[in-house]
Amino acid sequence: MNKNTIVPNERIINKIVLLRGEKVILDVHLAELYDVETRILKQAVRRNIERFPEDFMFKLSEKEIKFVVSQNVIPSKKHFGGATPFAFTETGVAMLSSVLRSKKAIEMNITIVRTFVHLRKLVNNYEEMIAKMQEMELNYNEQFSEIYQVLQQLLSKPKEESRPKIGYKKDRT
């Protein structure tokens, strides 16, 4: 991805997961992006563990591992080969550049950090847009109320509706 790219690399975005209120990338996905084995990446991190405090990198709990499996982030728990996966925050990814020194790792690090920054800008723009819409609603209440309601519906998360269960129903007669 170069500096002029408007849309961040989808390959990276698809690897970002929200855990513990942080956007993170799992070690297995970083190793794939850096074109190194996961064990090599983890070994480099363990050798420099003082560079990775809890807000840079953390080990997943059993509950979090089940969550990433259930969300199809990884195919199964076996994908980790019995090892506990690491999750790296944006700052942890930046710190990896001091640990992994290959040209590919450095280039990919820059791309990943740019993607995180781009995503943060998108969230900020979204929040600014909501605030402006609310301001417009106050200033032009009658003129804008219908448009505001439609926009609000489009921007709000869909409500989960309870659906009837489907499937085979045993005849109880």
pLDDT digits (tens, 9 = 90+) for 120-161: 777 777 777 777 777 766 666 666 667 667 777 777 766 666
142 and 116 assigned to the same domain:
no
77 and 135 assigned to the same domain:
no
Of 88, 79, 81, nearest to 17 (Cα)?
88
**Does 170 reside within a domain?**
no
Global pTM exceeds 0.85: no
Question: In which domain, by residue range, is 118 found?
Answer: 10-122
116 and 133 assigned to the same domain:
no
What's the number of domains the chain is made of? Answer: 2
Side-chain half-sphere of 87: how many Cα atoms within 13 Å? 21
What's the rounded Cα separation, in Å, for the pair 56 and 71?
23
81 and 136 assigned to the same domain:
no
The first and second tokens of residue 109, run together, are 């690090």
**Does 86 reside within a domain?**
yes
